[in-house]
């Protein structure tokens, strides 16, 4: 509604950055570029400058930008049926559910719109399971430096006070212990514990992988104490780590797994998958207007099928190795400042001994490369899974110059 004190309407062609200052509730520390177009591993800004995108919407554009298979699927679906309501059956929902179940160890799927909502569903599922199977146990244990989302429950699950503090008091029922510390986890479990929620590889903290012993130990602990073992694969799933799901590399099976990010290659979708015995939702328990609509599910099916058909998880592993080998060469140079290279498939955290991440990120961007920092000392890479050797070599060239400058 326009009133005498309302800001003037946005003029056509007005400067996007100025409008953002004026109109938007600023929660993001944005980079000073406006992106207008993308194709494959590259994006372009409003001045026509080209960038190699090694962030891919933070592990979302797994097939790259505007991949033909996704564009075609979405165009067809958008002209056929965009949205109904979950009060009716729709085919794409079950096509995607079937593919997810066939290619995982989980039995049932519930759709959401984001990673936070997928985890919110997992939290509600665990609490209901606790009422039914564990005398009302409701407490969920997660780890410090984890990231599970920004809704009130998922921010309470997230082990980082920085994200919680402005919104205290946090909802009750979450406990945090150190990551990769099995003894701490063992000590934290009580009769009130209903679930343990873990990322197999912590992404937001800068790509820190769980050890095999740890994940296997936690799964065993869950079995001993009748606790649900839940994995947040929102960022690690969809081939990112070199296998379709990260858990495959650990020899453990989750009872509940959450997905989002790359699942529909850029369309908003999330999913909470569960083994049959943990799938306790019944009609009326949970829901969402948009979740699992025909458009996003058709997109999700196209993306997952492409990852499977083209073995993009295998490509992620190979390209990840090439990146790491190049970075290790760079690390040997005395002025690189690189102190640690952490990786899981096509997902890399590069640690520097000093607070130079912002400078490096800016130099990369100025030279046509998009990366991201997870702290003042760490750079994260999460490029599309379709990367070629030539893309990797171009990355190494620009990144090497940015680091040595």
Ligand X SMILES: Cc1ncc(COP(=O)(O)O)c(C=O)c1O
Would you tell me which residues interact with ligand X (CB under 6 A)? 114-116, 119, 147-149, 199, 203-204, 232, 234-235, 260
Which candidate, 76, 154, 41, 102, places its Cα nearest to that of 273? 102
Residue 117 falls in which region: left (phi positive, over 0), alpha (psi -120 to 50) or beta: alpha
As measured in angstroms, the least distance from the Cβ of 267 to ligand X is 12
Contact 319, 387 (CB under 8 A): yes
Q: Which is nearer to ligand X, 246 or 280 (CB)?
A: 246
Q: Which is nearer to ligand X, 59 or 280 (CB)?
A: 59
Catalytic residue (one of 53, 110, 179, 232) = 232
Catalytic residue (one of 128, 134, 175, 261) = 261
The residue of the chain with the least Cβ separation from ligand X equals 115
188 marked as binding residue: no
- Does residue 261 carry a catalytic annotation? yes
Separation of alpha carbons 46 and 212, rounded Å? 45
User: Residue 159 pairs with which residues in a beta bridge?
Assistant: 144
As measured in angstroms, the least distance from the Cβ of 116 to ligand X is 3
147 marked as binding residue: yes
Q: Kind and range of the H or E element at 390?
A: helix 389-404
* Beta strand residue intervals within 265-354, DSSP E: 270-274, 338-343, 348-352
289 marked as binding residue: yes
User: Residue 256 pairs with which residues in a beta bridge?
Assistant: 230, 274
174 marked as binding residue: no
Q: Which is nearer to ligand X, 121 or 403 (CB)?
A: 121
130 marked as binding residue: no
Catalytic residue (one of 54, 147, 179, 395) = 147
C-alpha 167 chain-centroid distance: 23
Contact 170, 154 (CB under 8 A): no
User: Which two structure tokens, joined as six digits, stand for 20?
Assistant: 């953002």
- Does residue 147 carry a catalytic annotation? yes
As measured in angstroms, the least distance from the Cβ of 226 to ligand X is 25
User: Which two structure tokens, joined as six digits, stand for 212?
Assistant: 């095999």
As measured in angstroms, the least distance from the Cβ of 265 to ligand X is 14
Q: Which is nearer to ligand X, 297 or 398 (CB)?
A: 297
Q: Kind and range of the H or E element at 380?
A: strand 378-381
As measured in angstroms, the least distance from the Cβ of 15 to ligand X is 28
Q: Which is nearer to ligand X, 154 or 315 (CB)?
A: 154
Separation of alpha carbons 359 and 155, rounded Å? 29
- Does residue 191 carry a catalytic annotation? no
150 marked as binding residue: yes
**Mind telling me the catalytic residues?**
147, 232, 261
What are the binding residues for N(2)-acetyl-L-ornithine? Answer: 150, 288
Q: Which residues are annotated as a binding site?
A: 115-116, 147, 150, 232-235, 288-289
């Amino acid at each position: 509604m326009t009133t005498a004190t309302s800001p003037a309407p946005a003029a056509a062609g007005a400067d996007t950055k100025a409008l953002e200052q004026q109109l938007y509730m600023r929660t993001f520390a944005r980079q000073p570029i406006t992106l207008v177009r993308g194709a494959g591993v590259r994006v372009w800004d409003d001045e026509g400058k080209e960038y190699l995108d090694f962030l891919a919407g933070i592990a979302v554009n797994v097939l790259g930008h505007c991949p033909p298979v996704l564009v075609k699927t979405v165009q067809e679906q958008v002209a056929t049926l965009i949205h109904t309501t979950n009060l009716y059956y729709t085919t794409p929902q079950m096509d995607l559910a079937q593919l997810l179940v066939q290619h995982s160890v989980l039995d049932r799927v519930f759709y959401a719109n984001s990673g936070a909502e997928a985890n919110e569903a997992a939290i509600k599922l665990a609490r209901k399971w606790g009422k039914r199977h564990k005398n009302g146990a409701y407490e969920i244990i997660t780890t410090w430096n984890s990231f599970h989302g920004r809704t009130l429950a998922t921010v309470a699950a997230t082990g980082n006070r920085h994200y919680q503090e402005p919104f205290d008091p946090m909802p009750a029922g979450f406990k945090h212990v150190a990551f990769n510390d099995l003894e701490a986890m063992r000590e934290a479990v009580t009769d009130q514990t209903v679930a343990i929620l873990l990322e197999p590889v912590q992404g937001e903290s800068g790509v820190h992988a769980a050890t095999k012993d740890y994940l296997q130990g936690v799964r065993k602990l869950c079995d001993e104490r009748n606790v649900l073992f839940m994995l947040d694969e929102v960022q690690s799933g969809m081939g990112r780590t070199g296998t379709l799901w990260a858990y495959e590399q650990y020899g453990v099976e989750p009872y509940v797994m959450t997905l989002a990010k790359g699942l529909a290659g850029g369309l908003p979708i999330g999913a909470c998958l569960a083994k049959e015995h943990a799938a306790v939702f019944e009609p009326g328990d949970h829901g969402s207007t948009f979740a699992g609509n025909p458009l996003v599910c058709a997109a999700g099916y196209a993306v997952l099928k492409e990852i499977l058909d083209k073995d993009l998880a295998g490509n992620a592993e190979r390209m990840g190795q090439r990146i790491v080998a190049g970075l290790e060469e760079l690390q040997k140079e005395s002025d690189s400042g690189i102190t640690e290279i952490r990786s899981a498939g096509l997902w890399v955290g590069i640690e520097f001994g000093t607070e130079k991440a912002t400078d490096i990120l800016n130099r990369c961007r100025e030279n046509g490369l998009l990366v991201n920092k997870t702290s003042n000392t760490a750079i994260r890479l999460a490029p599309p899974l379709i990367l070629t050797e030539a893309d990797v070599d171009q990355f190494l060239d620009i990144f090497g110059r940015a680091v040595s400058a």
